[in-house]
Structure 1
C-alpha cells in the first residue's frame, strides 16, 4: 500500500483530504506542523509527501529544504499545497525542493494525477 504523509495544520483540510485519499487506497500519515512532518518523514519513509506551505513552527518551504537536503529523505517526492496563489509561489516551492505544486482549494482529480505521475517517475528504471 502506498503511504502518503500529509503535513497540514488545518483540521478540516486534514479530515477532508485524508478521507478521500484513504478511499482511493492510500495509507495516510498526518503531521500537524513542519517539524513533526520532517520527523515523521525520517522515521516512516513515506512514498510521497503532501506539504502545506503555511505551517506553524517550521514552514513548508523550510521543511522541504530539510527533507531534500538529507540523504535518507531526498528521494521522497513532495507536492506543495498552498492557498498562496501569488505569482512566483509555485517557483518558490519548487526552488525549496518540492517536486510539484497545487493550489488550494484542492481539485482532487488533478492532485491524484500529480501523485500518480510522481510515483511513476519514482519507480521508473
Structure 2
C-alpha cells in the first residue's frame, strides 16, 4: 500500500482529504503543522506528500525546503495544497520543488486524478 503524508492544519480539510485517500485505498499519516510533518518524515517513508502552504509553527515553504534539502526525502513528490492562491503562486510552488498544486476547495475528481498520476495508479 502506498503511503501519503497529509500536512494540513484545518481539521475539516484534514478529515476530507483523509477520508478520500483512505477510500481510494492509500495509507495515510496526518500532521497538523510543519514541525509534526518533519517529525513524521524522520520516522517513516512516504510515497507522496500533500502540503498545505499556510501552516502554524513552520510554514509550507520552510517545510518544503527541509524536505528537498534532506537526501532521505528529496525525491518524494510534494503537491502544494492551498486556499489562498494568487496569480503566480502555482509557478512559485513548482519552482520551490513541488511537483504540482491543488487549490481548496478540493474538486474530488481532479484530486483523485492528481494523486493517482503521481503514484503510478490511474482512476477507473
Matched, 1:71 2:71: yes
| Aligned counterparts, 1:19-58, within 5 A | 19-58=19-58
Q: Could you tell me which residue of structure 2 aligns to residue 81 of structure 1?
A: 81
Distance 2:13 2:82 in 1: 11
In the superposition, the TM-score normalised over structure 2's length comes to 0.92
| 1:88 CA displacement | 1.0
Aligned residues: 121
TM (norm. structure 1) is: 0.91
Q: Is residue 62–residue 96 contact of structure 1 (8 Å, CA) maintained in 2?
A: no
Q: How far 1:42 moved relative to its partner?
A: 2.5
Return 112-121 or 26-35, whichever deviates more: 112-121
1:59 lines up with 2:37 in the alignment? no
Runs ≥4 residues deviating over 4 A: none
Distance 2:75 2:114 in 1: 16
Q: Distance in 2 between matches of 1:43 and 1:94?
A: 26
Q: Distance in 2 between matches of 1:37 and 1:49?
A: 9
Deviation larger for 33-42 or 68-77: 33-42
Structure 2 runs not aligned, ≥5 long: none
Distance in 2, Cα, partners of 1:100 & 1:111: 11
1:21-51 deviations in Å (ceiling 9; x for gaps): 1011011100010111122123211110000
